[in-house]
Amino acid sequence: MNLDLPLILTLAVLITGVIWLLDILVLARPRSLKVAAVEQQFQAIEVADEHRKAVYEAARATAAQEPLLVEYAKSFFPVLFIVFFLRSFLVEPFQIPSGSMIPTLKVGDFILVNKFAYGIRVPVLNKTFIPVGKPQRGDVMVFFPPHQPKTYFIKRVIGLPGDKIRYTNNQLYLNDVEIKQEFVKKDFPEWGSFCMNYRLQMSIVNENLNGVVHKMQKCDQPSQLSVDGTWVVPAGHYFMMGDNRDNSADSRAWGFVSEDAIVGKAFAVWMHWEELLSIPSFNNVGVVK
């Protein structure tokens, strides 16, 4: 089961905020009257009388005591609100769960996602209310795919609205123009991948998406998704692909990504921590390209 974290965080902020506001408007007044009554009762207190002073302080503290729910709400609301604001409108951290973006991003990479690069969005509803920019070809983007609308995915933007995409034998064609690939090196495939299962070699290349150069990897024999396919991107949608072309379930399998499903643009790796018992690494910290 996938938890709807934006909804949970929004509800937590609203509930704690409403409780705090209710205390200010309604609940605080009776406490103030009780405190005033205690102060009137002890107004002739002698400072030197330590016993009466202790009784007065205890009585005043009892009169001013906030309900436990109010106390918790006041403690948690500022923290929750700061997290809510940062996560909803500025930057959100994510961890890479799969190898679909290798070699750009590896399993266990912790990344930062710019939440305003493509517009300021209403939390939970994910509707843009302040336009800022649009996804560009080559961006690494976090989004909700159409087949799993509550699960975060991360892929590269390959096709913009109106683009014609053709992918044949691991060669990309954009609007009938072949996208150049420059060979970098051969490498061993990752465990459990298509290449590994079929004992194939893997090539890492630099792919030039109209000026945006990034690394991608492909098997020497294309997988089923990489053999042949043609798509035309509809208005308000984007065509997404993983950089690990033969081991990525992406728009070739489940279609286009709507503008309403965009979460943000990945821009940096700040840590790598693959397993709980492993040692965190900062060797690959840097900008996502």
Please state, in angstroms and rounded to a whole number, the distance separating the CA atoms of residues 108 and 281.
10
As given in the structure block, the two tokens for residue 190 are 């990752």
Q: Max Cα separation, the chain?
A: 93
In the set 88, 115, 155, 218, the catalytic residue is 155
- Listed in sequence order, the residues at least 6 apart from 183 whose beta carbon sits closer than 8 Å to its beta carbon are 203, 205
Q: Is 100 a catalytic residue?
A: yes
Q: Are 280 and 272 in contact (CB under 8 A)?
A: yes
Give the angle subtended at the CA of 251 by the CAs of 247 and 255, to the nearest 5°.
140
In the set 34, 53, 88, 100, the catalytic residue is 100
Q: Are 118 and 133 in contact (CB under 8 A)?
A: yes
> Locate tokens 């961006």: which residue?
139
- Listed in sequence order, the residues at least 6 apart from 142 whose beta carbon sits closer than 8 Å to its beta carbon are 94, 113, 152, 153, 154, 262, 263, 264, 265, 266
Q: Is 155 a catalytic residue?
A: yes
Q: Mind telling me the catalytic residues?
A: 100, 155
